[in-house]
Amino acid sequence: MRRRMLRISMTVVALLLLITSTAQAQADKVEASLDAATRSQVIENVLKRVGELYVFPEVAKEMEKAITARVEKKEYDSVTSSLALAQKLTADLQAVSHDKHLRVVFSEKPLPERDDPRRRDPEEMRRQGARNNYGFYKVEVLPGNVGYLDLRQFYRAEMAAEKATAAMNFLADTDALIIDLRKNGGGSADMVAFLASYLLGPEPVLINTAYFRPENRTFETWTLKEVPGKRYTGKSVYVLTSSYTFSAAEEFAYDMKTQKRATIVGETTGGGANPNTFVRINDHFMLSVPIGRAINPITKTNWEGVGVKPDVEVSEQLALKSAHLLALKKISETSTDEERKTALKKVIEAVEK
């Protein structure tokens, strides 16, 4: 019996090794296919699309000059790996633009023959969103009646509004709210506006303006006059950030900070303010290129390259405890109920320990 099990185990191991080696061989085949002609074509097409689409035309010209100079110096001639070429082009483009949304991406799988090759069927996007609970990772009430929302992605409002409404209604009667964006890499601007609408009251507020070069148009983002359920106004809000917090998640933090609606606690965010799209370069390369720029109505600028700086700077690991303590102390300071203040004192002491 034991020998039979051993033979089965060895067969499984051999099968796994075969699958792994086959997959590696296929990947190596794609990698090895980067000849000089393909390399030149990728570089040429990347520069062409950057010149056509990048939100700052003058910066696009500077990038073209820099990459062309590197080509003339034969810096790319020794690059025979597709992945290495994508990484080098990304680094060289960002060295000029300092734009973290601008990058060249290599795909082992052949890309669809269209621009925006990452675009998926709406139903598949809904299924994927549902599997991720549309970014709503955790909703709970912390000791001292402090609400906590851990949001990992801003899905489009048409998909995630129901989850957002359920979360905000659950948290409506807490005395303060912590919104955790430390593991949020971004998403959709309309979901930023939807969530912000719960915090800023019924009068619509202009929270962001975005200029898009391809259309040569400016689009405004306003909060909503009406939201399902209760609004969360008149109470303190804290937004947690980390260096991972990026793009739309940064916009939410920036909007709440400039509107003086929330205290930002944690680390300076990643610094990506320019909305991007993906364009196809060839069968295995695509380009993430920023086609727009955010313009905050209050600062007249954005967080590109500098990130959103926290009001209370602490490490990512200490951000939640720090915000919880800030919320508890604020609730205690504003409370006129002595029994409540005594109970809060005990909670504060427990959290501090």
- Pinpoint the residues of the chain covered by CATH 3.90.226.10: 123-272+307-317
Per-residue pLDDT tens digits for 57-112: 999 999 999 999 999 999 999 999 999 999 999 999 999 999 999 999 999 999 98
Alpha-carbon torsion angle 334, 337, 341, 343, nearest 10: -140
Q: For residue 21, what pLDDT is reported? A: 46
- Report d(CA 348, CA 353) in Å as an integer: 9
Dihedral sign from CA coordinates of 320, 326, 330, 331 = positive
Q: In this structure, are residues 188 and 203 in contact, taking their beta carbons and an 8 Å threshold?
A: no
| Overall fold of domain 123-272+307-317 | 2-enoyl-CoA Hydratase; Chain A, domain 1 (3.90.226)
| Residue 150: alpha-carbon gap to chain centroid | 14
- Inter-axis angle of helices 189-200 and 157-171, nearest 10: 30
Length of the chain: 353
The model's pLDDT over 140-184, given as tens digits with 9 standing for 90+, comes to 999 999 999 999 999 999 999 999 999 999 999 999 999 999 999
Taking only the tens of pLDDT, the chain with its 353 residues reads: 444 433 434 443 343 344 344 444 444 444 546 899 999 999 999 999 999 999 999 999 999 999 999 999 999 999 999 999 999 999 999 999 999 999 999 999 999 887 777 666 788 889 999 999 999 999 999 999 999 999 999 999 999 999 999 999 999 999 999 999 999 999 999 999 999 999 999 999 999 999 999 999 999 999 999 999 999 999 999 999 999 999 999 999 999 999 999 999 999 999 999 999 999 999 999 999 999 999 999 999 999 999 999 999 999 999 999 999 999 999 999 999 999 999 999 999 999 98
Phi, psi (deg, nearest 5) at residue 307: 75, 175
Buried b vs exposed e over 41-75: b needs ≥16 C-beta within 10 Å? ebbebbbebbeebbbeeebbeebbeebeebbeeee
Percent of the chain scoring above 90 in pLDDT: 86
Comparing CA positions, the residue from 141, 165, 171 lying closest to residue 233 is 171
- Beta-bridge partner residues of 280: 286
Pick the closest to residue 149 from 159, 161, 162, 163 (CA basis).
163
- Residue in this structure with the two tokens 């910066």, named with its chain if needed: 59
